[in-house]
Amino acid sequence: MESKEYEVSTPTTEAAKPAWDAIVAIALGVAALIMAEFLPAGLLTPMASDLGVTEGMAGQAVTATSIFAVITSLLLAFITRKLDRRHVLLGLSFLLVCSNLLVAFAPTFSVLLVGRVLLGVSLGGFWSMAAATAARLVPQANVPTAIAIIFGGSSFASVFAAPLSSYLGNVIGWRNVFLLSAGISVCGLALQAFTLPALKPIGTTKLGTLPAVLKTPQFSSGMLAVALVFCGHFAAFTYLRPFLEQTTRVGPNALSAILLTFGVANFIGTSFAGMLIKHHFYRAQILLPLALFATGLGVLAFGGSALATTTLIFSWGAVVGPVPVIWSAWVARKVPEHAETAGGIFVAAIQLSAAVGAMAGGAAFDLDGSIGVFSFSAISWLLSSFVVGAFIRTLSFADDSIRETQEMVDFCNA
């Protein structure tokens, strides 16, 4: 199948015109990935029962996905360094289709585990390339919007995947839910095949590129700030349900409504990410973790009030929504010549922080219940803001040429 032709950008040139259809295709691919990742959250019990394993054992399929996502995100740029990026993205999307089909028809847990490993490879690889690819498909001035669209697909899927899978699983069975996910994955693959242009590999990726990127001034500090934000986030979110049940004392219906509120707020917050990148890039990197810190303190102080807690959780979702978009743009801007490798490190940092956050949250929960969890999260968020302020210098997304163009437009309009 022939690909659509665009004049795409390199680290030193800009795309002649934005390829928005290709951006939408990538966003659909991301949404399909996130949907597949979150499906077990609403289907774990029937999956375990059908396959004859415990829920704890079934949950290891999620762990396997995360482990292979980390490995792939770090190594993919080197392994595929000579391949057209279009072909790589299509291959990763094909793996997602295979993953869903394997899980849907899995006769044993071992086969299901293989399917979830394929998901990890697809997830880590696709995510690590998403921002770098977006930067090549649109002019520099449109990159924030393109990245926000891609992450919008992720946010949308994360809002509805778990509750929908739980509902549909009761209606049509968990295997058919994965078949539906496979159908969505096929749609994403087809759209990418029709819209993605040829994207020749750029730069030189070697095994030494990974440590070289980590040695880039401020890059490691940036990844530490990212890890602290998401470590706090995943620690708190993992134990949000017991907090709402034990401290806020809400019922099942109110619990579902509050969790949906978080997801909707997250989607709304993500939609403002492009504006924050364009106009408040550095300030957002500092202030968003501070806002999360304040939210954590608020939850600790007013957790007994359902109304106050719901408002604070809505704020939490809205504030954390733009964070991955902003940092993804920072990574692509900070190391443009090795954007894919840097993107892989970024994905690995989030995946590892998810695991560490959940483990640390569990230890804090055993030590001091939900109070310990939100205290840990608040400290993590505060430290993230401190790292940005202390070790990361201002990096404006709008480069000099964009500002000069705007000044010329303003002069002509005067």
Could you tell me if residue 330 is inside a domain? Answer: yes
pLDDT at residue 400 is higher than 60: no
pLDDT tens per residue, range 167-220 = 788 889 999 999 999 999 999 999 999 999 988 877 656 666 778 787 888 888
Residue 143 token pair? 């990159």
State the pTM of this model.
0.72
Higher per-residue pLDDT: 396 or 48? 48
Are residues 179 and 249 part of one domain? no
pLDDT tier at 41 (50, 70, 90 boundaries)? low
User: Quick check: is 214 in a domain?
Assistant: yes
Q: Is 213 exposed, middle or buried (0-12, 13-18, 19+ CB in 10 A)?
A: buried
Q: Please indicate, yes or no, if residue 411 is contained in any of the structural domains.
A: no
Same domain, 312 and 288: yes
Residue 344, pLDDT score: 80
Residue 307 has a pLDDT of 94
Residue 374 lies in a domain: yes
Q: Model confidence over 67-96: pLDDT tens digits?
A: 888 888 888 877 887 888 899 999 999 999
Considering the domain architecture, whether residues 191 and 252 belong to the same structural domain is answered as: no
Residues 194 and 218 in one domain: no
Q: What is the mean pLDDT of residues 33-61?
A: 80
What does the pLDDT look like over 132-179, one tens digit per residue?
A: 888 888 887 888 788 888 877 787 787 777 667 777 888 899 999 999
Residues 152 and 228 in one domain: no
The answer to whether residue 25 is domain-embedded is yes
Among 202, 231, 249, the domain-final residue is 202
Q: Are residues 396 and 248 part of one domain? A: yes
Residues 179 and 241 in one domain: no
| 272 in any annotated domain | yes
Q: Which of 94-108, 116-130, 257-271 has the lowest mean pLDDT?
A: 257-271
- Do the beta carbons of residue 29 and residue 184 sit within 8 Å? no
CATH at 278? 1.20.1250.20
Q: Higher pLDDT residue, 375 or 79? A: 375
Domain assignment present for 234: yes
Q: Give residue 384's pLDDT.
A: 95
Question: Over the stretch 289-309, which tens digit does the pLDDT of each residue have?
Answer: 999 999 999 999 998 899 999
Residue 58 located in a structural domain: yes
According to the model, what pLDDT value does residue 177 have? 92
Among 161, 178, 202, which residue terminates a domain? 202
pLDDT of residue 203: 60
Instruction: Report which of 267, 126, 279 is spatially closest to residue 189, judged by C-alpha positions.
Output: 126
Of 358 and 307, more confident: 307
Residue among 58, 67, 157, 70 nearest 103 (CA): 58
Identify the CA nearest to 100 among candidates 179, 188, 186, 43.
179
What pLDDT is attached to residue 280? 83
**Is 134 in the same domain as 215?**
no
- Predicted confidence at residue 401, as pLDDT, reads 35
Q: Span 231-255, mean pLDDT?
A: 83
Provide the residue range defining the domain that includes 85: 20-202
Residue 14, both tokens: 């800009």
Residue at which a domain ends, from 186, 202, 218:
202
| CA–CA gap between residue 5 and residue 189 (Å, rounded) | 18
Residues 193 and 238 in one domain: no
Query: What percent of the chain stands above pLDDT 90?
Result: 33
Contact 102, 233 (CB under 8 A): no
| 193 and 223 part of one domain | no
Q: Measure the CA–CA gap between 43 and 241, rounded to whole angstroms.
A: 17
Residue 116: pLDDT band (50, 70, 90) is: very high
Are residues 187 and 226 located together in one domain of the fold?
no
- Output the average pLDDT for the chain: 82
Same domain? For 216 and 187 the reply is no
Using DSSP, state whether 303 is helix, strand or coil: coil
Indicate the residue type of 322: P
pLDDT of residue 206: 64
The domain tally of the chain equals: 2
- Identify the burial level of 375 via C-beta atoms within 10 angstroms of its C-beta, where 0-12 means exposed, 13-18 middle and 19 or more buried: middle
